[in-house]
Amino acid sequence: MTRNDLPRRDQVIELLRGRDRALHAREMAEQLGVPEGAYLRFLELLSDMTMDRAIRALPGQRFRPPAGPSSASREGVISVHPRGFAFVSSTGFADDVYIPENAVGGAMHGDLVRVRVLARTRRGIEGWVETVLERAVLRVQGVLRRRGSSAWLEPDDARVRGPVVIEDAGDARDGLAAVVQLTRYPESRDENPEGELVAVLGEPGDPVVEMKKVLVRERIDEDFPVEAEAEAAGFPERWSDDQLGARRDLRDVDLITIDPDDARDHDDAIFVRAHETGFDAWVAIADVAQYVTQGSALDGEARRRAFSVYLPDRAVPMLPRRLSSDLCSLREGVDRLCLAVRFELDRKGVVRSSEIVEGVMRSRARLTYTGIARAMGWSEPDAGDVPLELEVLRVVKDADRLAGVLRRRRLRRGALDLQVPEPRVELDDAGAPIDVVRRAQDPGVRRAYGLIEELMIAANEAVAAWVGSRGLGTIYRVHAPPDEMKLERLVEMCGALDIAFSIEDAADPKRLSTFLGEVASHPLAEIIGMLTLRSLKQATYDSVNIGHFGLASTAYVHFTSPIRRYPDLQVHRFIKGELRGEARADETALREIATHCTRRERAVVAVEREVVDLYRALLMRGRIGSVLEGKVVDIDEGRIVVALNRPFVDVRVPMDRMGGKGFEATEDGLRAVDSRSGETVKLGEPMWVEVESVSLERRSVLGRRTWENKKRGTKRNALGIPGRPRKARRNEAKSGQKKKRR
C-alpha cells in the first residue's frame, strides 16, 4: 500500500466544506476514491485530523468541517522542514500556516506560494499549497552521483527536495562536489526536480571546495559586469559648484563617522549638540542614489545582489569598490554628497521637528568603536591611543547622552533588547580559523556601538514619519507580532527554567521588554534571548506599513545603509523624487521590490551563517578528541545541541551518544529524559562533551556527552580536558600504597 492510496488532508476538509450535512466515513472514502484495502488507514487519518481539530467527529463515524472562518487564500514564503512538513509566512499576518507533508505539492523550500487556509488545529492554522507563484531555489549544491548512464545530485541541504536528476553529466566523476542549475521543478509531491551542471568543484570536504559551493550556488560574484565597472569609473572625483546645485552646504557641521575597526566603507556620519532644552542632531548618509540611477547597469547589478555579503575573510559588496570604498564612502576631510536628516529633540528624546535635505559634507574625523571606547574611558586604555580633538570629543559626549535618552525611551515603549550572542571568526595571516568568540563582549565597545545604533534607529523612524506625513509610497521595514502559539511555548520554556513569565507578559510588547530587561543579568539570559527570538517572526520588507514589533515602532524604514542594502537605496530615491517634485513610485513596483529584497536578504543571511558554520567546523577538525564544556541550547527528537563556551561552536550530541539507557526528548523540546533511570537534561544546563567527528559538507560538529557532568570534583589538566573522577584516583592511590607495602 502506498501513501497515494490516501487523500490529502486538504481534500478531506474541502469535501466536508462542500456539504451542508455531516458525511459518514464510508461515504467520504467512496467520494475520495479510497481503495478498500486502505480504508482502515483512512479511518486513522480521520482520527488524526479529529485530534488535530482539523475536522469534527460526530457519533456514528460521521464528520463535519472544522468550526471557524471559511477557507481563504494567502501568499507567502514556504519554509520546508527536513522531515517534509512546512510553514508559510505571509506579510501582514502574524501567524504562519502549517502545511502537512502531503499538502506541500510541488513547492520547494523558499518558494513564494499561494496557500488555501483550511482550519485552526493544535499546530495552529493549517492549509495546503494551491500553487507556486515564484521559485526561490535556482541552484542546488551537493554531491554528484552516477550509476551507469544515470546521474543525479544529492543536495547538502536536507530541506531541498532531491535527488536532482541531471540530464547530462559529461565525464564528471561520481562523488565530487557540484552545483546544479534547476531546469524543471516538481509539479507534485512525488516528483523530483531536474537540472544541469553549473560547476564540478572537487572533493567534498575540501575547505576551498566547500566555500566555492556556497558562493556559486547563490551567484555571489566578487567581479562586476564590465558595464557596471565602466559606469563607476566614469564619475568625477569631485563635483563642481555648478553640479552641486541647490544642495545644503554641511561642510561646517562637525560630522564624524564611527565604524568597526575593520570597516571597508563609511556610509553614515553623525553630529549631536546638547543644549538646555534638548538636542540638535544630524545623521548624514552617503547619497548613493546620485550615482546609481534607475535603469543603469549599476542599478541592475545592485538590484540582483540586493545586499553586500560579509564573510569572515572578506566582504562582497553590492556596488563596485570605486563607489562603495571611495566615492560613496564618507572619508575624513573629503567632500562627499549626502542625504541628511536633521531633527530637534527635547530632553526626553521626543522629536519636535525634522527635515531631510540633499547636502554636501566633509567628515571631521574617522573613528572606530574600539578607539571611542578607550578614548572615553569605557574600556581599558591603550598606550597607543591618540586623544580626541576637543570638538570631536564634545560631539561624542553629546551623542552618548542622546543615545542613552533614546535607548531608555525605546525600551519604555516596549522595544525588545535580546541578549543573543553572535559568533566572530578569528583568522590567522593565511586565512585559517584560529578561534571563534562571541562578538562585542567588551562593554565599552558595546556602548560605542549602541551610540551609533540608537541614532540610526532615530533617523530611520524620522524618515518613516516624514514619508508617512506626505502620503509617499515607500518600502517599509516591518516586523509582525508573534502568533499566540509560539508565545505559549516561550512561556512554557521559561516555566521549565524556573523563570516567572506569563502569556499576558509575552503578548504585550512593554511587558515583554520589561521581562527581558529583568533577566538580562540572569545566568540563562542567552538561552532566554534565543527562545524569545525563535518565538518571533522574521522582519521583512513591505510596501504596506504594519509597524515593527521588535522596535515597538509604528513606522520604520531602512534609510541608513544604501551602500550595502538595496531597500535603503530605493528609499533614498523616493525621498529625492519627492524633494524634486518628481512622479511617485508605482504600488505594484514597490511590492515587487519589497518581495525581491526580502527573499534576497534571507538568502544572504543564510550564506553568511553557512560560511561561519563552515569555518567553525574547519576549526574543530583540529579539536577531535577534546573534551569541552558548554551549555544546552536546543533539544529535539534526535539530538541535543551544546554551545561550547570556548571556542563558541555548536556541537550536536545524538541521543544515543548521551549515555544512559536511552534518552528521549519531551514533546515541548525543553528536556531530554532517560527512559530507564529518569535522569533529565534541561535546556540551559551545562554539559561536557567530547568532540568525535566533523563534517565540512554538513557544516556540523558531532560529539558525545562525557561523565564529567555527573561526577563532582573532577579536575581538568592544563588543556582543559577532564581527568578521572576522584573516586577512581583514590582507588588507584590505595592500590599503589598496598603494592609498596608488599
- Cβ within 8 Å of residue 289, ≥6 positions away: 339, 562, 569, 572, 573, 576
Q: Which residues of the chain carry a pLDDT beneath 50?
A: 1-2, 69-70, 383, 709-742
Give all strands of the β-sheet with 335-346 in edge-to-edge order. Answer: 248-249, 351-362, 335-346, 278-286, 268-275, 256-259, 365-368
Give all strands of the β-sheet with 680-682 in edge-to-edge order. Answer: 663-665, 671-674, 680-682
One-letter amino acid at 68 equals: G
Per-residue pLDDT, 339: 97
As a three-state string, the secondary structure of 138-156 is: CEEEEEEEEECCEEEEEEC
- Please state, in angstroms and rounded to a whole number, the distance separating the CA atoms of residues 656 and 703: 11
- Please state, in angstroms and rounded to a whole number, the distance separating the CA atoms of residues 464 and 468: 6
pTM: 0.79
Taking alpha carbons only, the member of 457, 460, 435 closest to residue 571 is: 460
Per-residue pLDDT, 398: 97
Q: How many CA atoms lie within 13 A of 76 on its CB side?
A: 28
Per-residue pLDDT, 726: 46
Q: Could you identify the residue written with the cell 566633509?
A: 362
Render pLDDT for 605-649 as a digit per residue (tens, 0 to 9): 989 999 999 999 999 999 999 999 999 988 987 899 999 999 999
- Please state, in angstroms and rounded to a whole number, the distance separating the CA atoms of residues 80 and 10: 18
Cell of 667: 514533546
The CB density around residue 45, as the number of other CB atoms within 10 Å, is: 20
Domains of the chain (ranges, CATH numbers): 3-64 (1.10.10.10), 72-134 (2.40.50.140), 139-217 (2.40.50.700), 236-471 (no CATH), 624-710 (2.40.50.140)
